[in-house]
Amino acid sequence: MADELKDVILAYVTKEYLEDDSEPINYETPLISGGIVDSFSMVSLKRFLENKYNISIPDDKATPEAFDSVNKIAVLVREFAKA
Amino acid sequence: MSHIGSYDARLKNFSWAIAEKELGYKPGDVINIGWYCTDRICKLGKGDKPALIWEGSTGTEKRYTYDDIRLASNTIGTFLRGLGIKPGDRVCLFMDKIPELYLGFLGILKIGAIAQPLFSAFGDESLFVRLSNAETTAVITQKKHAPKVRKILDKLPHLKHLIIVDHEGAAPLKEREVAFSLEKAAPIDKFDLYPTKAESPSVLHYTSGTTGMPKGVQHVHYSLISQYLTGKWVLDLRDDDIYWCTADPGWVTGTSYGIIAPFSLGVTQCVFDAGFGAEAWYKFIEKRRISMWYSAPTAIRSLMKAGDDLVKKHDMSSLRHLASVGEPLNSEAVVWSQKVFGKPFYDTYWQTETGCIVISNYPGMEVRPGSMGKPFPGITGVVLDPAKNEPYPAPGKIGLVALKFDWPSRMRTYWNNEEAFRKKFRGGWYMTGDRSRLDNDGYFWFAGRDDDIINTAGHLVSPFEVESALLEHPAVAESAVVSKPDPINLEVVKAFVTLKPGFAASKDLDLDIMNFIRKKLSPLAMPQEIEFVEGLPKTRSGKIMRRILHAKEWGEEIGDTSTLEND
């Protein structure tokens, strides 16, 4: 589920958090520190991942750093998908 | 020695004339915040001093001296005048924390127009109600936020100009749109300052109401007097400070103490235009050698959560004084701050309506962790007995925080809503809407809100506004919105929802509703939890009883349920 996972996350972030004519983002684009997703919106992104992949991400793992790029989010999802 | 020195001594001989004299202002003179924050500092010989050091999320840096911000605010003011913006017109700033936000604010004030900052994460509905209520003439924004304004442009006949500060020329501008580049514009040295007086309107900040739409809190140029002196005595801003106010100027802290106080005091301030991240914040303090740091409890609790080891990896020795605002600062955070930074966060209390800090802890005064502190000299604050609308004769009882409404930066009215303004007073006292108790030494201790307003991460959210928006979702039949406790944000929004026939509760619907509110209102207003219910508790007359749901969330007694419909 390597690139497919990242592509799903990338597509979701693009659809939900960017305006129609925004600059495109990639796997490395800073999401939280770059101001694309704020700490409140992170809750809905976390909810999406939990629903989509049937996982539960503990609050102490859902840090701004862990959600700061598609690549980092993918690492997190894989960790809890295994668990 | 701090600027305030002895709090008790200041109480004895206080007059706002102290600030007037220091600023060289006499009653009846012209007083323009834009001029005091730029030209006056240059006239004092500090034109070459750094005023604003800005860093973006990718590390890009921009630096402005006081002479630079004088020229930039003149340039923006001249551009706005050229568009036909007149004194008294409302000009909205709808931007991230980029330099144009800070400099535009000053430029708007210099031409006598009213600055209307709005949080850039607002959705189109939040934006619409605020722009339509203010009958805003122009919006200054970035290309990334312009689409939200375009969506509502047809419903805003008063909005004549959408000014885009980073338009690159690739996409054609649309109707009513105009590009402005501060970097490309010729700097304006000679500027005809609009001669605002003490009571001339200056800033319009919107705040959430309990039962109605957001209210425009109108301030005047004389607010400078309070903002200058509280910046000096509470934040203890000094000439050699490197100051960092983490607030966004979309909210009042970001203008009163993120623009007006530091610039009128001629202090160097840094701005970090990036989302929250514990390590990034520590790096910023270390890199910029921040000495005075004004932040918020939610951020402080998030830093606590990130752990002590992270603090130890960075050099925090530049920090001299720390303060906090937005919501009650819990005692654990004060104790933690003392442990890791070697100094406590000083809690400060105020509101959009007060314009300046009104109750606070002060340098040199004993900090009682968890306390709001004491009223600023010149401000009379009391705890009212709600039954009598009089101050309690003795300390100890929880009552309503009320203020004598007579300090320079108090709001003058709610824009187009004099009735709501009048309702803020009881027995001659201004009612803050907060509850508190006094201890035997005159310290205030926060006890909660006196209404249904939700304070999430220091921002007020109206349950009414969220409920109204929820009803626009195709699946929602009825809703009730309350706060629920949260370890980081103090409170977050929770919605109870009944569904229309044909809709069933599901995880996907839950997420869809969350995102619907986030985009329509703002991320702050988005329910962090949605509970699908069969029915909502109502009075026999059909009014939803939010307090029952609130009590359940907070584990409190439900109280009188005699009027409950299905009792």
Distance of alpha carbon B391 from alpha carbon B380, whole angstroms: 11
CB contact under 8 A, B278 and A22: no
Q: Is the Cβ–Cβ distance between B412 and B199 less than 8 Å? A: yes
**Could you tell me whether strands B529-532 and B490-499 are parallel, antiparallel, or unpaired per DSSP bridges?**
parallel
* Side-chain half-sphere CA neighbours of B398 within 13 A: 10
Which pLDDT score is estimated for A83? 67
Give the integer Cα–Cα distance in Å for B395 and B407.
24
Tell me, letter by letter, the H, E, C secondary structure of B519-555: HHCCHHHCCCEEEECCCCCEECCCCECHHHHHHHHHC
Q: How confident is the model at residue B556 (pLDDT cuts 50, 70, 90)?
A: confident
Domains (range + CATH), chain A? 2-82 (1.10.1200.10)
Rg (Cα) of chain B, in Å, rounded? Answer: 23
pLDDT band at B557 (very low <50, low <70, confident <90, very high): confident
CA distance B377 to chain A (A): 37
CA–CA dist B346, B231 (Å, integer): 13
**pLDDT tens by residue, B324-379:** 998 888 899 999 999 999 999 999 999 999 999 999 999 989 899 999 999 999 99
Q: In this predicted structure, what is the pLDDT of residue B267?
A: 98
The H or E element that residue B150 is part of is helix B146-152
Of B276, B278, B514, Cβ closest to residue A44: B514
- What residue spans in chain B does CATH classification 3.40.50.12780 cover? 7-435
Domain range B455-554, CATH class: alpha beta
Query: Which part of chain B has CATH 3.30.300.30?
Result: 455-554
For B479-504, the pLDDT digits (tens) are 999 999 998 998 999 999 999 999 99
Supply B478's token pair.
């009825």
Q: What is the pLDDT of residue B210?
A: 66
A18 phi and psi, to 5 degrees? Answer: -115, 150
Consecutive H or E run containing B164: strand B161-164
What integer pLDDT is reported at residue B5 of this predicted model? 95
Which residues does chain B have within 8 Å of residue A47's beta carbon, measured at their own beta carbons? 507, 510-511, 514
The answer to ipTM > 0.90 is: yes
Stretch 108-137 of chain B: residues touching chain A, C-beta under 8 Å: 121
The set of residues, in sequence order, having a beta carbon less than 8 Å from that of B342 and lying 6+ positions away, is none
Statement: residue B541 has pLDDT above 80: no
- pLDDT of A22 strictly over 70: yes
The predicted-structure confidence for B47-89, as pLDDT tens digits, reads as follows: 999 999 999 998 999 999 999 999 999 999 999 999 999 999 9
Give me the half-sphere count of Cα atoms (radius 13 Å) on the Cβ side of residue B262. Answer: 28
Say if A71 is an interface residue toward chain B (CB within 8 Å).
no
B277–A68: do the CB atoms touch at under 8 Å?
A: yes
The answer to pTM > 0.90 is yes
Among the partner-chain residues B306, B507, B523, the one whose CB lies closest to the CB of A41 is: B523
Find tokens 């303004």 and name the residue.
B421
User: Which member of A30, A39, A43 has the closest CB to residue B57?
Assistant: A30
Which residues lie closer than 8 Å to B258 by C-beta, 6 or more apart?
Answer: B102, B245, B247, B248, B249, B269, B271
The whole-number pLDDT of residue B247 equals 96
Model pLDDT, residue B566 = 60
pLDDT tens digits for range A47-74? 999 999 999 999 889 999 999 999 999 9
Instruction: Calculate the alpha carbon distances from B452 to B50, B368, B376, B551 in Å.
Output: 43, 28, 27, 12
Which residue of A lies nearest to B121 if distances are taken between CA atoms? A38
**CB-CB contact of B514 with B479 (8 Å):** no
* Cβ-contact B39, B258 below 8 angstroms: no
- Are B273 and A38 in contact (CB < 8 Å)? no
Amino acid at position B177, single letter: E
What topology does CATH give the domain B7-435? Rossmann fold (3.40.50)
Taking the C-alpha atoms of residue B115 and residue B117, their distance in angstroms, rounded to an integer, is 6
Q: Is the pLDDT of residue B567 over 70?
A: no
Could you tell me what percent of chain B has a pLDDT over 70?
Answer: 98
> Which segments within B180-264 are labelled E, that is strand?
201-207, 215-220, 242-245
Q: Are B104 and B120 within 8 A, CB to CB?
A: no
Q: What average pLDDT does the structure give for chain B? A: 94
B277: which DSSP letter?
Answer: -
The verdict on A28 touching B (C-beta cutoff 8 Å) is no
